[in-house]
Amino acid sequence: MPELPEVQTIVSDLNKILPGLKITDVWTDWFKNFKKELVGKKILNLKRRAKFILINLSGNKTLIIHQKLTGHLLYGKWKWKENGWMSVLSGPIQNDPRNRFLHLILFFSNGFELALSDLRKFAKVLIWNTDELENLKELKELGPEPLESDFTFEKFKKALVNTRRKIKQVLMDQRAIAGIGNIYSDEILWKAGVHPLKPAQKLSEKELKEIYKAIPKVLNLAIQSKGDSISDYRRPSGEKGGYQNIQNAYQMDGTKCKNKDGGIIKRIKISGRSAHFCPVHQKI
């Protein structure tokens, strides 16, 4: 599932292209009642909240997209051929099979399109009044943004100390901290030297500070790397991100720890989710 760095990369990429364009048509084989709401609207800007993409439109409307497990947005040109849409532009959008599962296309005034490719069809798309976004349940329940200046150590600490859950579970809880999922919880804990099974309320002050310091370092590096494409995530150009080439823990089980401490990355299950860690420098 695309997490904060992947969603931020998409928003940043599309903010260089979409503002000022008008939606001239809409195609979908899945979502309902979108064409009437969207045609004629102009793109104002794009923002990110946690793992949500917010496309602000003229007329006090916002298109909200959560890509879920396998969804990602692509910017290009497509043509209907036989039983599906095919990219008319050469390159990764056309060549990468992960980019061929289109379920929503917005057609723009410049002749290009924005498409949602989603293999498993779990993505969520809805339209909301822009001035009422703060009342939308999905956004209202989200925790603080970990890269914002007001994400203080005290605010971080407050989200962790009053729960018996494992630290990995808390980091992934969108109500506690927004935008972190399976990939970056592993990466953050690896960098902080904290075992994923350790109960959050039993973390020492030193461990809390190490996690707090690791969060922006890991997330900003992932953003600089344009996200992690170890699974389905692709940039709007259809290209892969690069963080999967430098990750330290996530899906690295069986490999030597890059901390050079002699450890071998292990994989365990926590409430049905995988966790990857080094048993040498991440002791419980």
Q: Can you tell me the distance from the alpha carbon of 266 to that of 279, in angstroms, rounded to the nearest whole number?
A: 7
Q: Is 158 a catalytic residue?
A: no
Alpha helices in the chain (DSSP H): 4-15, 35-38, 92-95, 137-140, 153-160, 167-172, 182-192, 205-224
Catalytic residue among 41, 49, 51, 166: 51
Catalytic residue among 3, 6, 113, 207: 3
Q: Is 3 a catalytic residue?
A: yes
Tokens representing 278 are 């080094």
Q: Is 273 a catalytic residue?
A: yes
For residue 111, count CB atoms less than 10 angstroms from its CB and return exposed for 0-12, middle for 13-18, buried for 19 or more.
exposed
Long-range contacts of residues 268-271, Cβ cutoff 8 Å, at least 24 apart? 268/196, 268/197, 270/166, 270/168, 270/169, 270/196, 270/197, 271/169
Sorted by sequence, the CB contacts under 8 Å of residue 165 that are 6+ apart come out as 173, 199, 200
Catalytic residue among 68, 157, 267, 273: 273
Which residues are known to be catalytic? Answer: 2-3, 51, 273
